Structure 1
Amino acid sequence: MKQVPKARRTRMILREVSVAFCVLVTFMLFGQQFLQLMHLSETSLGIAGGVILFLIALRMVFPHPEGVFGDTSEGEPFIVPLAIPLLAGPSALATVLLLVSREPARLWEWIGALALTMLVCGLTLAFSEKISLLLGRVSRRLLSV
């Protein structure tokens, strides 16, 4: 988000976290029907999420000049890669689907937990520059490897 002016970052983070929250809640409510429509099982969703996370992890371990998610266009990102797949990726979708399918009576608790999680993610992203300064130069190098 270096190319985004500081004044726009907070609005952009709020927008992206909101989009991720909406996608996850929608998948909580209608994910089972979507999987049935596509003839997919929960297991196949979990495997696909694992494969995608593995590929992202490989790009993090063996960095590319264009970054983890590939070459992104100039300006501020819109939905990809911040909201999807970073916040609402395949693993998060599989997790919310499994939570609701195993205990559907606790739907409002799951939505509350998801809202709290998105709040923490939003605050972390909003204060990421200050967190980075706090961690210092050495730890930033370690984290970027």
Structure 2
Amino acid sequence: MTNELLSLLVLLLILLDPVGNIPLLISLLRGVAPERRVHIIVRENLIAAALLVLFVFFGDWLLSTLRLTPAALEISSGIILFLIAVRMVFPSPTSAPEEAMRQEEPLIVPIAVPMIAGPAALATVLLTARQGFEPLTLILAILAAVAINTVALLAGERIAQRLGRAGMAAMERLMGLILTTMAVQMLISGLRAAFFAAS
């Protein structure tokens, strides 16, 4: 259980990408009063955690409703992860969304979803639950990852000042490289399950 928990925790942390999300979060909350920022960050992380936990219990139902096979979900998740990884390694200078310029207090969108609980994280949780992982292990990994994400985002301005622009970019690229490897492995597993399971 410990190895599964650690592997899931690392994967979820890379998907939540707290370091990479710090610049966007700072921009989103620039027009919000400083005393409200802690409340917003904690609230949005709790919403994201609740959504991820819901996918643990309703993953099978969602798969059957949408008539998806585990192999199809694994392949599509791998593609999503790979695209996210490429964006992390080769960031676009115009990748910041227009919401970053908004001044009102954000609720659920865009911080809880999709910044924290994005499509890749939701698909990964759904797929992991479908693969037979113990729900308790998966829930513990989600809660631990979201807790670490919350602490990192709360310390976002100090981390950004310490690392500087070059340090933040280096951390983002390093996590992108790790995520690329995980995405390729997910694609290999999905393709093997889809085309070579009978052989």
Name the TM-score, length of structure 2 as normaliser.
Answer: 0.59
Residues of 1 paired with 2:142 and 2:43: CA distance? 16
Provide the aligned C-alpha RMSD in A.
2.8
Residue 86 to residue 133, structure 1, CA distance change in 2 (3 Å): same
Match of 1:63 in 2: 93
Residues of 1 paired with 2:42 and 2:69: CA distance? 32
1:54 aligns with 2:80: no
Residue 53 to residue 110, structure 1, CA distance change in 2 (3 Å): same
Structure having the larger proportion of residues in helix: 2
Residue 134 to residue 25, structure 1, CA distance change in 2 (3 Å): same
Match of 2:176 in 1: none
Following TM superposition, by how much is the alpha carbon of 1:43 offset from its aligned partner in structure 2, in angstroms? 4.3
Match of 1:86 in 2: 115
Does the 8 Å CA contact 1:28/1:97 hold for their aligned counterparts?
Answer: yes
Structure 1: 5+ residue stretches without partners: none
Which among 28, 32, 42 is matched to residue 4 of structure 1? 32
Residues of 1 paired with 2:80 and 2:169: CA distance? 26
Secondary structure at 1:61 match in 2: coil
Secondary structure at 1:4 match in 2: coil
What whole-Å deviation, never above 9, does each CA across 1:65-117 have from its counterpart, x for those lacking one?
xx52x21132122112211112111211122122222224x211211111011
Structure 2: 5+ residue stretches without partners: 1-28, 173-199
Question: Quick one: which amino acid aligns to residue 22 of structure 1?
Answer: A
Which among 119, 122, 126 is matched to residue 147 of structure 2? 119
Match of 2:135 in 1: 107
Residue 43 to residue 12, structure 1, CA distance change in 2 (3 Å): farther
Name the TM-score, length of structure 1 as normaliser.
Answer: 0.79
Which among 130, 133, 136 is matched to residue 161 of structure 2? 133
Following TM superposition, by how much is the alpha carbon of 1:49 offset from its aligned partner in structure 2, in angstroms? 7.2
Which among 63, 67, 72 is matched to residue 39 of structure 1? 67
Percent of residue pairs bearing the same amino acid type: 30
